Amino acid sequence: MINCYAFDSVPPFAKGLVRDLRVRWALEEAGLPYRVTPVGDREGSMARSSYRLVQPFGQVPAIEDDGLTLFESGAIVLYVAERSRDLLPDDTSDRARVIQWMFAALNTIEAPIQRLAELDLFHADERWAKGRRPGAVGAVQQRLAELATQLRDRDHLVDRFSAADILMTTVLRILRHTELLDKEPALAAYKRRCESRPAFARALAAQLATFESGEEQPGTAA
């Protein structure tokens, strides 16, 4: 069974955004059994110092599967998708397009969104951050407009829901503290469409449950 590591607690603004959500969602969509091992300071959790033997940067998620240890959310989602035709098609061209959009989500879209989130959530009261914010907002708006163009006439990034939509949706969720996504109706509708999937609801509920209990849990696909 796949073991997924996740933090046992995070600040309120991060709940529902921590990147193990991507992995949980992919596992739920693929129907693969998994369990969650909490990392942090609570009794029964793996100590953060010990966790660095699993993930050298101390970040989540990481997984263990039959002797393989893997970190980086994009790499893990791809690993899971390799075991599910629903997330990664067999056709060579379709497969390449899904992987293309997976990279776009993490490189082209997430990078400017994360820069803005860091300004807003960690440095909002600092003068230098206030000076940089307009430029950061402009960079995000440009990428959102470009992405919206690709989604105006389609439900998903490729012909049907795939691993690329898992990554892209979780990236767009980072903007929930702003109203930027609402200014692009095609993107707002796309995000709602993906979040309406039962597997997403199960993954989100499981992540929030970890924060409540701090205990090791089986995934609902188990």
Q: What is the pLDDT of residue 218?
A: 55
Mean pLDDT of the region 2-26: 96
pLDDT at 18 over 60: yes
Q: What is the pLDDT of residue 212?
A: 82
Q: What is the pLDDT of residue 222?
A: 43
Helix (H, G, I), strand (E, B) or coil at 189: helix
Other C-beta atoms within 10 Å of 119: how many?
Answer: 20
The CATH number of 2-86+199-218 is which of 3.40.50.2300, 1.10.3720.10, 3.40.30.10, 3.40.50.2000? 3.40.30.10
Q: What is the pLDDT of residue 156?
A: 97
CATH class belonging to 92-197? mainly alpha
pLDDT at 220 over 80: no
Q: Which residues pair with 62 in a beta bridge?
A: 5, 71
Give the domain ranges of the chain: 2-86+199-218, 92-197
Instruction: Dump pLDDT digits (tens) for 70-87.
Output: 999 999 999 999 999 999
- Residue indicated by tokens 């979040």: 195
